[in-house]
Structure 1
């Protein structure tokens, strides 16, 4: 089997299974494990996958900074934000994660509805400057890449809240590896907010599907529902729907 053929088959396995186990692939191809590991090293150098102990995982592309992300898929994000805002009931407390997609929820909140919005993101709080909702901004060390508070102080403040709904933002979603993000402390804060909340819903633009970032947040089945673009193909959503039957298309 030629090297290019092996690499194509390895990518097929990665897309199908969400991971590549070097020993298993070597057995399936009747080749040495060293040969497969060499292929994986070369493919990782080409940016085709992420090497991990014993094999490989899908790679999530580097995320641009917060300012640059404002203009990415803005129309789709507005639809997702409107769909999320429609889930909110009067007098609820909601927690908005940081990010440009969750900012659209703030922009679509009804002005005639009594509610409380908690967030650890100063940019999300600023979106609500002229909105009549009660706003709770938790403090902590500012992680500037995502413009959210992280660390022990943020964790302690969030522990005092019991939101009805948490709208979670992540950088990647995968049926095997779940929902993930790129920073260890940010992932810990997201998990903590979810534990404090009655329900967690995650907003996902199409480019985040079938990828894995370094720091796991939650499994697909651990959230109450996914909010996704209406144009996503049904076959691409099927592995996620098998894990979580509550998918809202917007």
Structure 2
């Protein structure tokens, strides 16, 4: 098998199984572990996989700006949002950060909902302008244009004075062993603070984000109370359910 063929096979296995172990690939492909490690290093340099100790993980969706992501998998995101509505009740204090799936959720909220919503996302605050029974508290900071959220020390200091019944976290990447992660350390710090001030945490995740990692860890995945995703393999679902997370797919 040529190197290019072998690396393509690795990518196909990774796409199907979400993670690979070098020793296992060595046996399956009939080459040495050193060869597999070199393959994984090359694939990592090309931006096709994320190397970890003993193997590699899927990279998941590429980093794209907010306006581009709005039109990706919109039907799937709406379905996730409709499932999440079951956990939102009148008189709750909701904390909602950025993300296109979170924006779809806000757009699906009934106009009769009575709630207080805290957000650091200008698009979400604007989407709530027609909800007369929702008090919107906008958290300031420096606008991170890629995700369209306010971040920084001012954001964290404001969050220190607040409590929420439910935090609806925009999830960039999640792995059951490594946790929830994002590309920006500042965004990781703000999300971590949001987790700490909330009684429960809910995340809506499209399947291409499962078992993927980014550069900065927000928190372990078991900090989630609810994980709402698409139909996934029972084994993958079990990895999260075994951590005490309520998984809906």
Q: TM-score range by the shorter chain?
A: 0.7 to 0.9
1:201: Cα distance to partner? 0.7
Question: Does structure 2 retain, via aligned residues, the 8 Å contact 1:20–1:57?
Answer: no
Structure 1 partner of 2:243: 243
What secondary structure is seen at the aligned counterpart in 2 of 1:191? helix
Separation (CA, whole Å) in 2 of partners of 1:100 and 1:14: 24
1:114: Cα distance to partner? 2.0
Change (3 A) 1:79 1:199: same
1:163: Cα distance to partner? 0.5
What secondary structure is seen at the aligned counterpart in 1 of 2:164? coil
Question: Does structure 2 retain, via aligned residues, the 8 Å contact 1:202–1:227?
Answer: yes
1:241: Cα distance to partner? 2.3
Question: Does structure 2 retain, via aligned residues, the 8 Å contact 1:166–1:194?
Answer: yes
Structure 1 partner of 2:99: 99
Structure 2 partner of 1:210: 211
Structure 2 partner of 1:86: 86
1:55: Cα distance to partner? 5.6
Question: Does structure 2 retain, via aligned residues, the 8 Å contact 1:165–1:199?
Answer: yes
For structure 2, the residue ranges without an aligned partner over 5 or more in a row are none
TM-score (norm 1): 0.84
For structure 1, the residue ranges without an aligned partner over 5 or more in a row are none
1:137: Cα distance to partner? 0.3
Change (3 A) 1:98 1:31: same
Change (3 A) 1:10 1:92: closer
What secondary structure is seen at the aligned counterpart in 2 of 1:164? strand
Structure 1 partner of 2:190: 189
What secondary structure is seen at the aligned counterpart in 1 of 2:242? helix
Structure 2 partner of 1:160: 161
What secondary structure is seen at the aligned counterpart in 2 of 1:64? coil
Separation (CA, whole Å) in 2 of partners of 1:216 and 1:19: 21
Separation (CA, whole Å) in 2 of partners of 1:57 and 1:177: 11
* Residue-by-residue CA offset, 1:127-163 (whole Å, 9 max, x unaligned): 0111120000000011110000111000001111100
1:5: Cα distance to partner? 5.0
Separation (CA, whole Å) in 1 of partners of 2:44 and 2:51: 6
Matches within 5 A, 1:52-201: 56-132=56-132, 133-201=134-202
Aligned pairs, how many? 246
Question: Does structure 1 retain, via aligned residues, the 8 Å contact 2:168–2:202?
Answer: yes
Separation (CA, whole Å) in 2 of partners of 1:85 and 1:61: 25
1:12: Cα distance to partner? 4.8
Question: Does structure 1 retain, via aligned residues, the 8 Å contact 2:224–2:245?
Answer: no
What secondary structure is seen at the aligned counterpart in 2 of 1:72? coil
TM-score (norm 2): 0.84
* Residue-by-residue CA offset, 1:13-68 (whole Å, 9 max, x unaligned): 8976846468x9889989474x4442222222343322457764432332221111
Structure with the higher fraction of residues in strand conformation = 2
Change (3 A) 1:141 1:25: same
